Amino acid sequence: MSVRKICVYPDPALREPTKEIDSFDDELGMLVCDMWETMYASDGIGLAGPQVGVAKKLAVIDYNGEKYVLINPVISEKDNFKIVEEGCISFPGIYEKVESPEHIKVSYCNEKGELIEKEIDGFLACVFSHEIDHLNGKLLIDRISPLKRQFLKKKLAKKAKEK
Ligand code: CO
């Protein structure tokens, strides 16, 4: 197992189109292990493939001790939108209030390749939606107002210079 390097915005890897996963083999198992390690090392509750430079439809979530491995996830319904505060490992130290669904219908495969379909309520639905957005190249910064976005871009550019 190893902790992988996190792609921080504006890393182009975060916008890379992702491919479906079709083999549920040892290689996938190892990738999933690395994703857990990397997520815990960053104190996150979710991590998607593109955030570690892997352009595949894969994400992991650990919310209140409930663990989910999402492979090829698809959301068929989103509703009950609320304003919630979200963070993202690819935007270290940034928290933004964004509109997010507190109810979703989702289908995905687990790491054994079993198809799972469920309805999720509450903040966990927001977490699922956030991670699945990553697989479609959609980021936290895309979900805030244009004015806030401009401000955040400047802030991040300044932060990058300081390093
Ligand atoms: Co994120």
Q: What is the pLDDT of residues 4-18, one digit of tens each?
A: 999 999 999 999 999
Residues with CB under 5 A from ligand 1 (ion): 88
Taking residues 60-85, report their average pLDDT: 97
Residues marked as catalytic = 131
Taking residues 95-108, report their average pLDDT: 97
Sorting pLDDT into bands at 50, 70 and 90, what band is 162?
A: confident
Residue 114: what pLDDT? 97
Return the number of other C-beta atoms located less than 10 Å from residue 156's C-beta: 18
Ligand 1 centre to CA of 139 (Å) is 7
Does residue 163 carry a pLDDT above 80? no
Residue 1: what pLDDT? 80
Ligand 1 centre to CA of 162 (Å) is 23
Residue 142: what pLDDT? 97
Beta strands at 115-121 and 95-109: parallel, antiparallel or unpaired: antiparallel
Cβ distance 108 to 20 under 8 Å? no
Ligand 1 centre to CA of 25 (Å) is 26
Ligand 1 centre to CA of 48 (Å) is 7
Q: What's the token pair of residue 68?
A: 């989910």
Which helix H or strand E contains 129, and what residues bound it? helix 123-135
Ligand 1 centre to CA of 24 (Å) is 24
For the domain spanning 12-162, the CATH number is 3.90.45.10
Kindly list the domain boundaries of the chain, sorted by start residue: 12-162
